[in-house]
Amino acid sequence: MRRLDEAGNFDNLRLATGKAQGTYRGRPFADTDIYKTLEGVAWERAREPSERLASWQDETTAVLAETQAADGYLNSYFQFVGGGRDRFTDLGFGHELYGAGHLIQVAVAARRATGEDGLLRVARRFTDLLVETFGPDGQPGVPGHPEIEMALVELYRLTRHRPYLDLARYFVDARGRGLLGPGQYGPAYYQDRVPVREADGIEGHAVRATYLAAGVTDLFIETGERALLDAMLRQWNDMTSAKTYLTGGIGSRWNTEAFGHPYELPPDRAYCETCAAIGSIMWSWRMLLATGEARFAEAIERALYNAFAAGTSLDGTRFFYVNPLQLRGGTPADHERHPAHGRQPWYRTACCPPNVIRMLSSLHHYLVTSDETGLQLHQYAAGTVDAELVSLRVDTDYPWSGRVEIAVLATPEGPWTLSLRVPAWCGRVEVAVNGSRPGDEPRPGEYVRLRRPWRAGDQVVLDMAMPPRVTVPDRRIDAVRGCVAIERGPLVYCLEQADQPDKASVDNVLVEPDPGGLRAVDRPDLLGGVVAIEAPGRLDRSEPTEGLPYADWIPNSAAASTAARPAEPSPVRLTAIPYYAWANRDAGPMRVWIPTG
Amino acid sequence: MRRLDEAGNFDNLRLATGKAQGTYRGRPFADTDIYKTLEGVAWERAREPSERLASWQDETTAVLAETQAADGYLNSYFQFVGGGRDRFTDLGFGHELYGAGHLIQVAVAARRATGEDGLLRVARRFTDLLVETFGPDGQPGVPGHPEIEMALVELYRLTRHRPYLDLARYFVDARGRGLLGPGQYGPAYYQDRVPVREADGIEGHAVRATYLAAGVTDLFIETGERALLDAMLRQWNDMTSAKTYLTGGIGSRWNTEAFGHPYELPPDRAYCETCAAIGSIMWSWRMLLATGEARFAEAIERALYNAFAAGTSLDGTRFFYVNPLQLRGGTPADHERHPAHGRQPWYRTACCPPNVIRMLSSLHHYLVTSDETGLQLHQYAAGTVDAELVSLRVDTDYPWSGRVEIAVLATPEGPWTLSLRVPAWCGRVEVAVNGSRPGDEPRPGEYVRLRRPWRAGDQVVLDMAMPPRVTVPDRRIDAVRGCVAIERGPLVYCLEQADQPDKASVDNVLVEPDPGGLRAVDRPDLLGGVVAIEAPGRLDRSEPTEGLPYADWIPNSAAASTAARPAEPSPVRLTAIPYYAWANRDAGPMRVWIPTG
């Protein structure tokens, strides 16, 4: 909240109302930093009442209502800088519809979380203007940055006002037909190259792509149009099988913050924007709702514990924009967003920190679902699950331990199904109900489904073995050939310089690829308490070459192959930490993928 | 010349003179496309008279003289678009000094090539304005895009007018002191982060960096200031040992067209702009002049035959902007500059094609030098060398054959030294003068120096063995770990899809790393006549995985490691072609670095 003040976001609103004089600060979509923070505030208040948060929400709502134009329009940049005359003239890069989407999302969140509808009135006035302006009979156009699609469907869910759903459908239908023009990055950048239903792969700006996909999946959920789900499955498969990092991060390219080609997954130049991890979680969540398939919950888990979690410092005050899987020693920090700078308290384009805020504040929404058969636990966290008639207590130290204890606190009469997700990484798993093994054998990558008439006091124990694992990349990922990674449970591990023996530069170590040699070590002292993993490695002491870093291969001549083969590898004990915790000491050398020889 | 008409470059000049109405087209530095083409025209005319080229040069010179403002200023963009009022207000990105540099270079070239000084008058009037405007007592400032530094030194060499050299020195001295501000990409982008003499590494935009370095090296040559040469040696070593591709290409990043960090050399996302290859050749040439060391000529050779040569189609009409070392199958062409589009006849930012033109037209300048000891042959090409008193004929089929025959046609009395460069790649070399081996034993990476009283009719034969080689990368280059490349003589080879058996996708082949298995094959039928190289390979028939492209490593279990290990590799005969010749059929899958297993 303080950062928003300092960065000028509220001043921008005051400029738009004419209450202040000055210069607009930040990007044209600066209002959305307020919206996303406000969304976090609303969810936080639902979790725990706070007068301070309540009054901030009230004041901010009042300022927004005051800023809103008479006809419902609301965007401080276009209202102030363009004097309101440029409205909707730059849909490709103006971000007005993107802003409207975030306004709608926070309005829905505020209503659901706190029952207040001040923001909802503001959002509906703007949305009604959009319904009037766009759509089949209005101004043709689609947003350059998707976001409003999922917001409109959510507003429809809250209000059952059909024009909102129709507008969402219009924005989806009109996409990929050239309305945005090529822009400066070509139509693929903002998913306007092919119509949504015809797209086979995922492409372009990773946040735009996943936000759009989340909205399209929402639209399928409300309309049941199978062509939408088919397109989403094709794109999700393309993303997952060839364009996703081990951390669950997406977006291989700094240039246009975009997905790369299939298997283009460089660890050092990975962009993996924190917002893109959030986008992938939001999309996979909707795919989970649409299908009930465990793989979508699996993808959420991977992104959540790794690509997303790494975006925030352990003390919660600093944020990464970019989350690579490797940082070499001496890497110059040549860009504000470059991780060699370490996490930053804020950014000139400040999309990520407020997005982290609202994701963390609403995280409990992503854990459990219910349907007519019963309850489904997708992610494991200690706490209480209160559904309409069922109440459960979950005790677990997950992700440090794979043991999850579930106590039934309240239950209706008659049988219902408690579904527990068994992650695909889980090689050995046991489940017990009141001490006995049920008939249904748990299988990795599926749900174990426990159907019975439950009684208060019933105890379920899910015990997932969590040995450290060695992970190998598909050989098509050229950038990490000859390397392995270390994982344990849902956590991806990395080598960070601070944990290695002095002599062992992370840039120069090799690891033995034998999982039998890995040892999980409880380290309450380290980085707020982690399970570290010790691994036998070797140290390469060869010096940098002079001249070109290429040499002749001369068979059977060790000397002639020095360029490729390390000289004098010597044993060393390596310590890996969870990837999410890196760069909390300094942003020194780090790598997830470690060469084996 | 036709492309310049079509792209509006001449119309821009007419706009600036008020002789036409309309809209400025292209980038603010569009005039430089004319300058560079004109430079090529001047050199071509020196090689072979042409009325057509002469009249084009005359007309263009007249138009430029007419466009030039009364006080000497010349830049159609700032004259027309800004009405002349914004001059020198955006040194970071305005490119006025860059444009002046190219104007000076073509003026010097025209004078030297054709003896005409119409352009020289234009260039000197502009330069005199710059001398008045900038410098220690004038407006502080340095160009965002270096280029004028080397041009000013060259103009000084031609005119011996000291203020030109002083202005070059001012632009070098004032650099790295924050005059440009951070701009949108930070000061490292345009080499303004540290003073020139203090820079240890090379960084930022690759063309800017090498153009600056060429100018600084020129300044050292004229002033003898050792600190300049020391800084250039440090930067050149940094570039060569850790930031240069096997092709001699430079610039690892699409984002800001920049050098990456040390050993950040991804083959697929290599930018390797054609202009950057030209920049590196221009810089290495000046380092060669400054030091006489063979390694600089070696670098020129590598860049020339590979990174630079690949920039132009075999028929000379189409150009690559970006020259990666790998293109995967099915790669979507998502950017005008992306090689998946194939070479283009022109670009919206058309810097590369005219730069190729002037480089090719002046290429003979880069082959031979003379000094008080005699003549030095740095690059081998068939033709005649005419020095002041010496005349040689060189017969060779280089780079297809390593045999070079040199006949002395004319020589002065008394002994002098004929120095012949023996490339570092050359494992076995013989030299003979009139059939006898001289005392000086030729050594790879050095010059063999033949000192004697020469007579007309003397015959020298340099015979360099040119077997195909297997090249391994330094292990620090993470992106090509586990791969080798094929080279022969100065040529880097690649696998292109068109040459492989149908079943063998370039994305799925492995190569045996044994140079003994390689076979050079004369292929006059192929790509205008090349020596191809056949290599024993294996074919990976494993199918893409479903789900995440990562899997558990389970020791001693082939099945569990499928992700990393290809299933059923089967023998296949691979054919490699010279890298420069790729994408002359279609821009299909291609790779320089080939996995070995």
Tens digits of per-residue pLDDT, A551-592? 888 665 543 444 445 455 678 999 999 999 999 997 789 999
Contact yes or no for B481/B475 (Cβ under 8 A)? yes
Contact yes or no for B106/B42 (Cβ under 8 A)? yes
Arithmetic mean of pLDDT over chain A: 94
Mutation pick from A252, A425, A552 vs chain B, by most beta carbons of B within 10 Å, is: A552
* N-term to C-term CA, chain A: 49
Q: Is residue A151 part of a domain?
A: no
End residue of a domain, out of B464, B488, B516: B464
For residue B188, the model assigns a pLDDT of: 94
b/e code B473-483 from CB counts within 10 Å (16+ = b): bbbbbbbbbbb
User: CA B528, CA B524: separation in Å to the nearest integer?
Assistant: 7
What are the pLDDT digits (tens) for B386-407? 998 999 999 999 999 999 999 9
Residues of A in contact with B516 (CB under 8 A): 555
Q: Is B470 on the interface with A (CB under 8 A)?
A: yes
User: CA A397, CA A391: separation in Å to the nearest integer?
Assistant: 20
Task: Reply yes or no on whether the pLDDT at B539 is more than 90.
Answer: no
Residues of B in contact with A190 (CB under 8 A): none
Q: Stretch A152-164: mean pLDDT, rounded?
A: 98
CB-based contact A474 B255, cutoff 8 Å: no
Tell me the pLDDT band of B82, cut-offs 50, 70 and 90.
confident
End residue of a domain, out of B414, B434, B464: B464
Q: Nearest CA of chain A to the CA of B332: how many Å?
A: 7
Angle of helix B352-361 versus helix B31-47 axis, rounded to 10: 20
Q: Stretch A253-280: mean pLDDT, rounded?
A: 95
Q: Are residues B507 and B575 in the same domain?
A: yes
Cα dihedral A192, A194, A195, A196 in deg (nearest 10):
-80
Identify the CA nearest to B576 among candidates B515, B502, B486, B504. Answer: B486
- Residues 6 or more apart in contact with residue B367 via CB below 8 angstroms: B377, B378, B379, B380, B381, B385
Q: Are residues B436 and B534 in the same domain?
A: no
User: CA A119, CA A104: separation in Å to the nearest integer?
Assistant: 8
Tell me the pLDDT band of B568, cut-offs 50, 70 and 90.
low
Identify the CA nearest to B143 among candidates B74, B201, B96. Answer: B96
Long-range Cβ pairs for the range B327-331 (8 Å, 24+): B327/B268, B327/B587, B327/B588, B327/B589, B327/B590, B327/B591, B328/A261, B328/A262, B328/A263, B328/A264, B328/B268, B328/B507, B328/B589, B329/B497, B329/B505, B329/B506, B329/B507, B329/B588, B329/B589, B330/A261, B330/A262, B331/A261, B331/B589
Q: Nearest CA of chain A to the CA of B555: how many Å?
A: 7
Q: Are residues B569 and B484 in the same domain?
A: yes
Q: Which of B269, B513, B555 sits opposite A269 (nearest CB)?
A: B269
Q: Is A481 on the interface with B (CB under 8 A)?
A: yes
Strand positions, DSSP E, B248-336: 326-327
List the single range of A101-105, B369-373, B440-444 with lowest mean pLDDT. B440-444
Q: Is A249 on the interface with B (CB under 8 A)?
A: no
- The 3-state DSSP class for residue A225 equals coil
CB-based contact A547 B240, cutoff 8 Å: yes
Share of chain B above pLDDT 90, in %: 86
Tell me the pLDDT band of B558, cut-offs 50, 70 and 90.
very low
Q: Are residues B459 and B481 in the same domain?
A: no
What are the pLDDT digits (tens) for B276-294? 999 999 999 999 999 999 9
Task: Reply yes or no on whether the pLDDT at B544 is more than 70.
Answer: no
Residues of A in contact with B561 (CB under 8 A): 472
User: CA A463, CA A6: separation in Å to the nearest integer?
Assistant: 48
Q: Chain A residue closest to B263 (CA)?
A: A549
For residue B51, the model assigns a pLDDT of: 97
Task: Reply yes or no on whether the pLDDT at A250 is more than 80.
Answer: yes
Q: Nearest CA of chain B to the CA of A408: how many Å?
A: 34
Share of chain A above pLDDT 90, in %: 86
Task: Reply yes or no on whether the pLDDT at B482 is more than 80.
Answer: yes
Q: Are residues B507 and B487 in the same domain?
A: yes
Supply the CATH number for residue B384's domain.
Answer: 2.60.40
Tell whether the torsion through CA atoms of B549, B550, B552 and B557 is positive or negative.
Answer: positive
For residue A265, the model assigns a pLDDT of: 97
For residue A374, the model assigns a pLDDT of: 96
Q: Are residues B404 and B508 in the same domain?
A: no
Contact yes or no for A209/A190 (Cβ under 8 A)? no
Half-sphere exposure of A103 (CA within 13 A, CB side): 31
For residue B555, the model assigns a pLDDT of: 62
User: CA A76, CA A120: separation in Å to the nearest integer?
Assistant: 18
Q: Is B597 on the interface with A (CB under 8 A)?
A: no
Q: Which of A204, A254, A550 sits opposite B246 (nearest CB)?
A: A550
What are the pLDDT digits (tens) for B29-50? 999 999 999 999 999 999 899 9
CB-based contact B545 A474, cutoff 8 Å: yes
Q: Are residues B394 and B421 in the same domain?
A: yes
Can you tell me the ipTM of this complex? Answer: 0.89
What are the pLDDT digits (tens) for B202-238? 999 999 999 999 999 999 999 999 999 999 999 999 9
Q: Are residues B487 and B440 in the same domain?
A: no
For residue B189, the model assigns a pLDDT of: 95
Q: Is residue A546 part of a domain?
A: yes
Q: Is residue B443 part of a domain?
A: yes
Token digits of residue B174: 């004032």
- Taking the CB of residue A533, how many other CB atoms lie within 10 A of it? 24
Strand positions, DSSP E, A138-191: none
- The 3-state DSSP class for residue B572 equals strand
For residue B382, what are the domain limits?
368-464
What are the pLDDT digits (tens) for A19-70? 899 999 999 999 999 999 999 999 999 989 999 999 999 999 999 999 999 9
For residue B106, the model assigns a pLDDT of: 98
For residue B360, the model assigns a pLDDT of: 97
CB-based contact A553 B471, cutoff 8 Å: yes
Token digits of residue B309: 């040569």
Q: Chain B residue closest to A552 (CA)?
A: B471
DSSP track, A384-395 = EEE-SS-EEEEE
Tell me the pLDDT band of A173, cut-offs 50, 70 and 90.
very high
Q: Is B547 on the interface with A (CB under 8 A)?
A: yes
Q: Nearest CA of chain B to the CA of A510: how many Å?
A: 11
Q: Is residue B549 part of a domain?
A: yes
Helix, strand, coil distribution of chain B in percent, nearest 5 = 40, 20, 40
Tell me the pLDDT band of A224, cut-offs 50, 70 and 90.
very high
Q: Is residue A167 part of a domain?
A: no
> How distant is the alpha carbon of residue A309 from its chain centre?
8
Task: Reply yes or no on whether the pLDDT at A378 is more than 50.
Answer: yes
Q: Stretch A75-102: mean pLDDT, rounded?
A: 95
User: CA B596, CA B537: separation in Å to the nearest integer?
Assistant: 9
Q: Which of A101-105, A333-337, A571-575 has the highest mean pLDDT?
A: A101-105
Q: Nearest CA of chain A to the CA of B460: how many Å?
A: 29
Q: Is residue B122 part of a domain?
A: no
Does an H or E element contain B573, and which? strand B570-578
B441 φ, ψ (degrees, to nearest 5): -80, 125
User: CA B495, CA B485: separation in Å to the nearest integer?
Assistant: 10
Q: Are residues A402 and A518 in the same domain?
A: no
Q: Are residues B378 and B415 in the same domain?
A: yes
User: CA B77, CA B142: separation in Å to the nearest integer?
Assistant: 19
Identify the CA nearest to A536 among candidates A472, A594, A475, A496. Answer: A594
Interface size, chain A vs chain B, as Cβ–Cβ contacts under 8 Å: 222
Arithmetic mean of pLDDT over chain B: 94
For residue B440, the model assigns a pLDDT of: 76
Q: Is residue B99 part of a domain?
A: no
For residue A515, the model assigns a pLDDT of: 86
Identify the CA nearest to A487 among candidates A528, A396, A426, A444. Answer: A426
Q: Stretch B549-573: mean pLDDT, rounded?
A: 63
For residue A561, the model assigns a pLDDT of: 42
User: CA A576, CA A596: separation in Å to the nearest integer?
Assistant: 15
Task: Reply yes or no on whether the pLDDT at B567 is more than 60.
Answer: no
User: CA A157, CA A168: separation in Å to the nearest integer?
Assistant: 12
For residue B545, the model assigns a pLDDT of: 67
Strands A570-578 and A530-539: antiparallel
Tell me the pLDDT band of B307, cut-offs 50, 70 and 90.
very high
Contact yes or no for B282/B303 (Cβ under 8 A)? no
DSSP track, B337-353 = T-GGG--BS--SS--HH
User: CA A332, CA B19: separation in Å to the nearest integer?
Assistant: 50
Task: Reply yes or no on whether the pLDDT at B554 is more than 70.
Answer: no
For residue A463, the model assigns a pLDDT of: 97
Share of chain A above pLDDT 70, in %: 96
B419 φ, ψ (degrees, to nearest 5): -105, 130
Tell me the pLDDT band of B514, cut-offs 50, 70 and 90.
confident
Q: What is the pTM of this model?
A: 0.93
Contact yes or no for A509/A574 (Cβ under 8 A)? yes
For residue B330, the model assigns a pLDDT of: 77
Query: What is the DSSP code (8-state) at residue A436?
Result: B
For residue B563, the model assigns a pLDDT of: 45
Please state whether the peptide bond connecting residue A501 to the residue before it is cis, i.e. omega within 30 degrees of 0.
no
- 3-class DSSP string for B217-257: HHHHHHHCCHHHHHHHHHHHHHHHHHCECCCCCECCECHHH
CB-based contact A331 B261, cutoff 8 Å: yes
End residue of a domain, out of B464, B484, B507: B464
Residues of B in contact with A263 (CB under 8 A): 328, 549
Q: Are residues B450 and B475 in the same domain?
A: no
Contact yes or no for B493/B533 (Cβ under 8 A)? yes
Cα dihedral A64, A67, A71, A72 in deg (nearest 10):
-20
Q: Nearest CA of chain A to the CA of B575: how many Å?
A: 19
Q: Are residues A525 and A589 in the same domain?
A: yes
Measured CA distances, A42 to A38, A110, B124 (Å)? 6, 5, 68
How many domains is chain B partitioned into structurally?
2
Q: Is A541 on the interface with B (CB under 8 A)?
A: no
Q: Stretch B115-125: mean pLDDT, rounded?
A: 97
Q: Which of residues 297-326 of B touch A (CB under 8 A)?
A: 302, 326
CB-based contact B550 A472, cutoff 8 Å: yes
User: CA B360, CA B278: separation in Å to the nearest integer?
Assistant: 10
User: CA B339, CA B591: separation in Å to the nearest integer?
Assistant: 13
Q: Is residue A398 part of a domain?
A: yes
Share of chain B above pLDDT 70, in %: 96
User: CA B265, CA A518: separation in Å to the nearest integer?
Assistant: 31
User: CA A179, CA A196: separation in Å to the nearest integer?
Assistant: 13
For residue B79, the model assigns a pLDDT of: 96
Task: Reply yes or no on whether the pLDDT at A120 is more than 60.
Answer: yes
CB-based contact B564 A507, cutoff 8 Å: no
Query: Which amino acid would we find at residue B466?
Result: M
List the single range of A123-127, A440-444, A474-478, B379-383 with lowest mean pLDDT. A440-444
Does an H or E element contain B46, and which? helix B31-47
For residue B403, the model assigns a pLDDT of: 98
Query: What is the DSSP code (8-state) at residue A205?
Result: B
Q: Which of residues 176-215 of B touch A (CB under 8 A)?
A: 185-186, 188-189, 203-204
